Structure 1
Amino acid sequence: MPDLRETLDVAAPADLVYDLVADLPRMGDWSPECEKVTWRGGATEAAKGAEFIGHNRAGSIRWVTQGRVVSAERGRNLAFEITFGPMPVARWEYFIVPTAHGCTVVEEWTDRRPGWYRVPADKAFGPRLKTNRRGIHKTLENLKRAAERLPA
Structure 2
Amino acid sequence: MPDPTAHAQVHVNATPARVYALVSDLAGMASSAEEYSGGTWLDGATGPAVGARFKGRNRRGWRRWSTTSRVTDAQVERFAFEVKSFGLPVARWQYDIEPADGGCVLTESTWDLRPAWYRPITALGTGVGDRAAENQRNIEATLGRLKAAAEAG
TM-score (structure 1 length as normaliser):
0.94
Paired residue for 2:49?
47
Separation in structure 2 between the aligned mates of residue 31 and residue 38 of structure 1, nearest angstrom: 16
Which residue of 14, 17, 20 maps to 2:19? 17
Paired residue for 2:118?
117
Structure 1 unaligned regions, length at least 5: none
1:99-130 CA-partner distances (Å, limit 9, x unpaired): 12200000010000001111332244212112
TM-score (structure 2 length as normaliser):
0.93
Paired residue for 1:38?
40
Structure 2 unaligned regions, length at least 5: none
Deviation at 1:32, TM superposition (A): 1.3
Q: Which runs of 4+ in 1 moved over 3 A?
A: none
Separation in structure 2 between the aligned mates of residue 83 and residue 23 of structure 1, nearest angstrom: 19
Q: How many aligned positions are there?
A: 149
Q: Is the Cα–Cα contact under 8 Å of residues 31 and 139 in structure 1 kept in the other structure? A: yes
Separation in structure 1 between the aligned mates of residue 44 and residue 29 of structure 2, nearest angstrom: 19
Paired residue for 2:77?
76
Separation in structure 2 between the aligned mates of residue 63 and residue 122 of structure 1, nearest angstrom: 12
CA RMSD of aligned residues (A): 1.1
Once the two structures are superposed, the pairs formed by residues 90-105 of structure 1 within 5 Å of their partners are 90-105=91-106
Amino acid at match of 1:107: E
Separation in structure 2 between the aligned mates of residue 87 and residue 57 of structure 1, nearest angstrom: 19
